[in-house]
Amino acid sequence: MAEASYVTFLVGLLAATLRVATPLLYATIGEVYSERSGVLNLGIEGIMFLGAFVGFAAAARAYAGGWPAYLWVGLAAAMLAGALMGLLMALLTVTWGLNQHVSGLGITLLCTGLSLFGFRLVFGESAVLPRIPPFSQLDPLAGVPILGPIVSQYLLTYIAFGLLVPLAAWVLYRTNFGLQVRAVGENPEAADAAGIAVFRIRYAAVVGGAVLMAVGGAFLSLAQLGAFSPGIIAGRGWVCIALVIFARWDPVRAMAGALLFGGVFALQLRLQTQGFSLPYEILLALPYLITILALALAGRHAPYPGAYLKPYRRE
């Protein structure tokens, strides 16, 4: 390859990394909040799927109705759907104190079934995949070499990196609410004794987290694809579960992790299209293997939230 094409390759890779990392980042931050409050939400895969479907279905309806802001209608609908599923998850695991991993997997199965059912209901069995014009990318530095194509991204990507991560970190570490989230996830008994409303804080963290997961899913259908397909999430939720551990339950490290994993995916896609014979599955499996390795190395010192997986019951 000539030097110029290396540059094009790298620029394209960087731009793609930011795009691929965006849905991971939303959902991972959502999961960080949920787990920091003591609730492992394995519904993440399904909630992302539901967000992608509901976002697309609502946007398609609004588009057909001639609404100019149809994509935002879709995003709002996806957030609402995520909130409802978060409420269900919180009802099961916080109020009723049921087994978190079985509840979460149940929610994933439910969201998957409901989305596929709903897709048939709304769009019928047409052979052509319904499409809508997706969000367009902002291009603030149009014409500038190298930097221009890298910062040509969706607004949702700008929000994720520029707003969500600093905000999530600030809220978690610098506000009263964040302190309460960490307290109920670390030691709910002590938090309760200190007058913190354990159940209410956990509800807020789980529901808010689920909204972010749904946004992550909706980004894929509303920005990246402008369509919905059964393989749209394809395990991204499980990647986020790995990312949370990799990031040691920290929003800023979650961003670093999302960029790293996003970079691996983007690289994999590029190598595939350039016809490299390396099995791309090896690259795709890396995030999982790295996380398991990181856990094994951290061993007993892995900084799980103290009340992780433990329901709280008031005696």
Q: Is residue 314 within the footprint of another protein (CB under 8 A)? A: no
Euclidean distance between CA atoms 45 and 300, whole angstroms: 27
Tally helices (H) and strands (E) across the chain: 13, 0
Closer residue to another protein in complex, CB, 92/164: 92
**Phi, psi (5° rounding) for residue 250?**
-125, 130
Q: How many residues bind another protein (CB under 8 A)?
A: 45
Question: Which listed residue (64, 69, 98, 194) binds another protein by CB under 8 A?
Answer: 98
Positions in 180-219 near another protein (CB under 8 A): none
* Range in contact with another protein (rule: CB under 8 A) among 58-66, 100-108, 144-152, 163-171: 100-108
Report, in Å, the least distance between residue 187 CB and another protein.
18
**C-alpha triplet 14, 16, 21: angle, nearest 5°:** 95
Among the listed residues 83, 158, 284, 306, the single contact to another protein using CB under 8 A: 284
Calpha distance 23→160 (Å, rounded): 9
Alpha-carbon distance of 235 to 232, in angstroms, equals 9
- The Cα 230–Cα 216 span in angstroms is 16
DSSP state of 285: H
Nearest-angstrom CA–CA distance, 286 and 16: 18
Q: Which two tokens stand for residue 57?
A: 């279905």
- 229 lies in the site for another protein, by CB under 8 A: no
Nearer to another protein, 134 or 305 (CB): 305
Listed in sequence order, the residues at least 6 apart from 306 whose beta carbon sits closer than 8 Å to its beta carbon are 38, 185, 186, 187
The partner residues of 31 in beta bridges, in order of sequence, read none
CB of 144 vs another protein, minimal distance in Å: 38
If the CB atoms of residues 223 and 233 are measured against another protein, the closer one turns out to be: 233
| Site stretch for another protein (CB under 8 A), options 20-28, 92-100, 153-161, 175-183 | 92-100
If one asks whether residue 308 binds another protein (CB under 8 A), the answer comes out as: yes
Q: How far is the CB of 93 from another protein (least distance, A)?
A: 10
The residue ranges that bind another protein (CB under 8 A) are 40, 42, 88, 92, 96, 98-99, 101-103, 105-107, 109-110, 112-114, 116-117, 120-121, 235, 238-239, 241-242, 245, 279, 281-282, 284-285, 288-289, 291-292, 295-296, 299-300, 302, 304, 308-309
